Amino acid sequence: MNKKLKIGLFGFGVVGQGLYDVLKKSPALNVEIVSICVKNKKERSLPEELFCYSPEDILSNKDINLVVELISDADEAYPIVKRSLELGKNVVSANKKMIAENFAELIQLQKDHNVSLLYEASACGSIPVIRNLEEYYDNDLLLSVTGILNGSSNYILTKIFDHNKPYNEALKEAQDLGFAEADPTFDVDGFDALFKLVILTAHSFGTIVNPEGVLNYGISNISDFDINYAKEKGFKIKLVGQVERLENNKLSLFVLPRLVNRDKYIYNVEDEFNGVVVKGLAYDKQFMFGKGAGGHPTGSAVLSDITALAHDYRYEYKKMNYYTNLDYDKSGSIEIYLRYKNESDLSKFDFASITESYSGPLYNYKVGLISIEKLLQLKNDLRYMDIFIAVTGKTLSY
Ligand code: HSE
């Protein structure tokens, strides 16, 4: 534990500042932030000499043995993380998009250069979900991981449902509080949750899934009509990511809004909190709950990775050797609520069966079974249509 960690930090936004603050509360830890690389000069609370403006200043500094990457742009983060690993520096990152999109290569780089890349802060903020999936749920019992993985959209849904706030006002609050991504589309259209789900899938089942091939749809089209529908039936609407091991030893995964009954653990997960339900044979369900966004909660997950590196911890990606052929499968069907206005939009959805149907002056809806493959074909168009979709959660057909 006494190996001195000399940190080169990239980014000093909400999470960078959060890390700086929580590090100050951990005086026993033998670490030093040597340099902080930021894009632009501006008035900051820390001495100017701590900042640099070229990544090379950190990458070429042989004193720095740990790179902490906390910038929001995945394309900017990728070469920094890659070069750091190639140079033999351990890396801590919170960049879920960068990790999910370059997963196989980042794992290979760790092996090739005998270094460690840790990213607990990339999924569910302060909840230690990756480390637990990797270490504790390291056997055949694990069946599914389901959860609220995005703090901003959960914050917005809470404000809409419980406080009758307009969507845009709630989104603005999530941004002002530092929960939302630089481009909040990431949060509200389910991309952030998708990247997190891809990361959780690798540590749950050892399968690396290309995020582009996975269905994600968020809450940006939610309307009062949908909220009233949910309230009348005693549901809340939550944005939920789920990966499940199917009976044919395949994996199903998607991110979709869900009508959540009050008997579910995630029903009471509010504001920027995240909640992850782990389901397995023998133990049924377990529930992890905590703050999923914000500088200090996320900074605390980064701190935990830094501490782990002081003990030379690395992910072994155990499930990749443990399971074989747990491939991603899109052939299942799910029951959805589809609210629509135009018949031309409805006609794009090829329901296998319909159990509920309503036509009204403003909107119509159908509840019915639809194949995931069909929804995937529409994935890039869904958020531009005058519709809203939510999984009923009642009948996953597998
Ligand atoms: N924008 C993310 C969220 C931050 O709202 O969950 C934490 O990953």
Nearest CA to ligand 1 atom 7: 293
**How many whole angstroms separate alpha carbon 153 and alpha carbon 237?**
11
From 6, 96, 159, 196, the catalytic residue:
196
| Domain limits, CATH 3.30.360.10, in the chain | 141-291+325-391
Place of tokens 């200043």: 57
Beta bridge partners of 6: 32
Task: Categorize the per-residue pLDDT at 106 as very low, low, confident or very high, splitting at 50, 70 and 90.
Answer: very high
> For 68-101, how does the pLDDT look when each residue is reduced to its tens digit (9 = 90+)?
999 999 999 999 999 999 999 999 999 999 999 9
Structure tokens given for 172:
């603005």
pTM of the model: 0.97
Tell me how far the alpha carbon of residue 255 lies from the centroid of ligand 1, in angstroms: 15
Distance CA 298, CA 272 (A): 12
pLDDT digits (tens, 9 = 90+) for 169-203: 999 999 999 999 999 999 999 999 999 999 999 99
Q: Is the CB–ligand 1 distance for residue 305 below 6 Å?
A: no
With bands split at pLDDT 50, 70 and 90, how would you rate the model's confidence at 3? confident
Please choose from 97, 158, 181, 271 the residue to mutate so as to test ligand 1's pocket, defined by most ligand atoms within 8 A of CB.
Answer: 181
Element (H, E) at 240: strand 236-245
Percent of the chain with pLDDT over 70: 98
Q: Is 180 in the pocket of ligand 1 (CB under 6 A)?
A: yes
What average pLDDT does the segment 333-349 reach?
Answer: 96
DSSP, res 276: E
Q: How far is the CA of 11 from the centre of ligand 1 (A)?
A: 16
Average pLDDT for 347-352: 96
- Report residue 120: phi and psi, to 5°: -55, -35
Which spans in 250-317 are helix H?
Answer: 295-310
pLDDT, tens digit, 9 for 90 and up, residues 263-291: 999 999 999 999 999 999 999 999 999 99
> In the chain, where does the domain assigned CATH 3.40.50.720 lie?
5-118
- The answer to whether the CB of 187 is under 6 A from ligand 1 is yes
Whether ligand 1 lies within 6 angstroms of the CB of 275 is answered as: no
Taking the CA of residue 193 as reference, the ligand 1 atom at the shortest distance is: 6
Please, which pLDDT band fits residue 37 given cuts at 50, 70 and 90? Answer: very high
User: What CATH number has the domain spanning 141-291+325-391?
Assistant: 3.30.360.10
Q: How far apart are CA 349 and CA 365, in angstroms?
A: 12
Query: Pocket of ligand 1, candidates 99, 130, 150: which has the most ligand atoms within 8 Å of its Cβ, to mutate?
Result: 150
Question: Are the CB atoms for 95 and 121 separated by under 8 Å?
Answer: no
Say whether pLDDT at 398 is over 70.
Answer: no
| CA 19/CA 348 separation, integer angstroms | 47
pLDDT for 323 = 87
Is the pLDDT at 154 greater than 60, yes or no? yes
Q: Reply yes or no on whether the pLDDT at 324 is more than 90.
A: no
Please report which confidence band the pLDDT of residue 397 belongs to, taking 50, 70 and 90 as the band edges: very low
Strand-pair category, 142-148 with 236-245: antiparallel
Instruction: Give the phi and the psi of residue 26 in degrees, each rounded to 5.
Output: -125, 60
Q: Provide the pLDDT for residue 14.
A: 95
Ligand 1: does its nearest atom lie under 6 Å from the Cβ of 293? yes
Q: Does the structural domain 5-118 have CATH classification 1.10.645.10?
A: no
Q: Is it the case that residue 395 has pLDDT exceeding 80? A: no
Q: How many CB atoms lie within 10 A of CB 189?
A: 22
